[in-house]
Amino acid sequence: MVLADLGKRINNAVNGALSNSKDDYTTTVDIMLKTIVTALLESDVNIKLVSQMRNNIKSKLMESKTASSSVTNAQTKKLIQETVFDELCNLVDYKSDQPFQPKKRQTNVIMFVGLQGSGKTTSCTKLAVYYSKRGFKVGLVCADTFRAGAFDQLKQNAIKAHIPFFGSYTEADPVKVAAEGIAKFKKEKFDIIIVDTSGRHRQEEELFKEMVEISNVVKPNQTIMVLDASIGQAAEQQSKAFKDSSDFGAIILTKMDGHAKGGGAISAVAATNTPIIFIGTGEHIHDFEKFSPKSFVSKLLGIGDIESLLEQFQTVSNKEDTKATMENIQQGKFTLLDFKKQMQTIMKMGPLSNIAQMIPGMGNLMSQVSEEETSQKMKKMVYVLDSMTKQELESDGRIFIDEPSRMVRVAKGSGTSVFEVEMILMQQQMMARMAKGAQGAGGMPGMGAMPG
């Protein structure tokens, strides 16, 4: 069962309980818990965890009910929703979900471990970009001499992301390469050095021995295990084995965009008492989100997660562009160029379904419209805006109303229809009106006005 299905089933169970007025309270709670338990077990969450969670929810709900005999229906609903939400958070919360805070005036080393194919090399680069964007000088070291092509892969990723890197085509000893890389970047006063190590297809003695040897040499300030979210029950045992050899202090969960059961990963967290710090949501460098138990559960239940949305928006948006748009809005203006920049930022944020999940109420809506369809629509809008002249883009759009022949020209140039151009102008006009309303308040026009 994929994670989205798990969320839907838990939601249905809670909603079912909330709308059920026939049965008495205890029966209603029992029916709801049975559905939640089945859904979690089918998603590979460890049975011990599930039964513990079931007992916690049940006792909390029963206690609250007996503590006050005069609770209203609305209060009961709120209580059920909150209790289920809190317990789901507890399942994935190890109290410290913050990324490692590098120490000032010293070189910090972060070492990655994980099986081959888990997404280690990709995640190393994503983390390097995360710290680099926050002003740290970051270097990448490829200590994977086992897999042919590993260095080339890291090199390509690093070049694309503009991160300095180190590796060797000739040295076969990963410990030596790691030591050399660390020495080089330390000498150059790098703040953070991220060391990518080799993986194997299976857990093997050799691999664990190598991890210990590299770790003894690089002396990491933090070791991160990369875990593929789609591996199901195997996650628990795999993470325990890595914990014994390399004692990692954090987990990055990858491929959360795919058909991940996710439950195995939840069990891995519990089995090793280690927090998830980031999740990988795609192959692109920006498909990387800080993990927060509340955000994770909110998304799981389709409640939406504005906090993550804003953080992602800030990460991908161009600071200069945002500043210029904000200045315009403060003057009550919102030009076609502002509109175009906002569209481009949204498109950079990754699959639209990911973004929709963060907007309250949008997750369910998006599942009814195909990703392809929405993305095509947005691309067309950018083509239309691309066909406009500088003068038109910097205008408030009224220029098109004064001279409708401009619409015909833009439609022709972008391979769209006049109707489509008109629709975009209407959107921009709507936002411009909102900007006028927000004048002085410093607000950003809502993205809810985007066509779906």
Quick one: 267 or 281, whose CB is closer to ligand GDP? 281
| Interface segment toward ligand GDP; rule CB under 6 A; list 15-23, 109-117, 168-176, 262-270 | 109-117
Instruction: Give me the residues paired with residue 252 across strands.
Output: 226, 278
Instruction: Find the binder of ligand GDP among 120, 243, 299, 341 (CB under 6 A).
Output: 120
- Span 219-238, contacts to ligand GDP by CB under 6 A: none
Residues near 449 by Cβ (< 8 Å), separated by ≥ 6? 427, 430, 431, 434
**Nearest position to ligand GDP, beta carbon:** 280
Q: Is 282 in the site for ligand GDP (CB under 6 A)?
A: yes
Using CA atoms, how far residue 361 sits from 89, 305, 367, in Å, is 20, 10, 11
C-alpha to C-alpha distance for 428 and 334, rounded to whole angstroms: 8
Instruction: Find the binder of ligand GDP among 12, 52, 64, 116 (CB under 6 A).
Output: 116
- Span 385-414, contacts to ligand GDP by CB under 6 A: none
Q: Is 121 in the site for ligand GDP (CB under 6 A)?
A: yes
Q: Is 119 in the site for ligand GDP (CB under 6 A)?
A: yes
C-alpha to C-alpha distance for 243 and 412, rounded to whole angstroms: 61
Instruction: Find the binder of ligand GDP among 255, 290, 294, 340 (CB under 6 A).
Output: 255
Q: Is 174 in the site for ligand GDP (CB under 6 A)?
A: no
Q: Is 261 in the site for ligand GDP (CB under 6 A)?
A: no
Amino acid at site 276 = I
The span from the first CA to the last CA of the chain, in angstroms, equals: 27
Q: In which order are the strands placed within the sheet that holds 288-290? A: 165-166, 138-143, 192-197, 108-113, 222-228, 250-254, 276-280, 288-290
CA-wise closest residue to 151 among 189, 206, 195, 201: 195
Distance of CA 137 to the CA centre of its chain: 24
Q: Is 280 in the site for ligand GDP (CB under 6 A)?
A: yes
Q: Is 173 in the site for ligand GDP (CB under 6 A)?
A: no
C-alpha to C-alpha distance for 134 and 441, rounded to whole angstroms: 28
Instruction: Find the binder of ligand GDP among 44, 87, 236, 257 (CB under 6 A).
Output: 257
The count of chain residues that interact with ligand GDP, using the rule CB under 6 A, is 19
CA-wise closest residue to 261 among 303, 300, 304: 300
Quick one: 279 or 309, whose CB is closer to ligand GDP? 279
Instruction: Find the binder of ligand GDP among 258, 351, 413, 443 (CB under 6 A).
Output: 258
Residue ranges that bind ligand GDP, judged by CB under 6 A: 114, 116-122, 153, 199, 254-255, 257-258, 280-283, 287
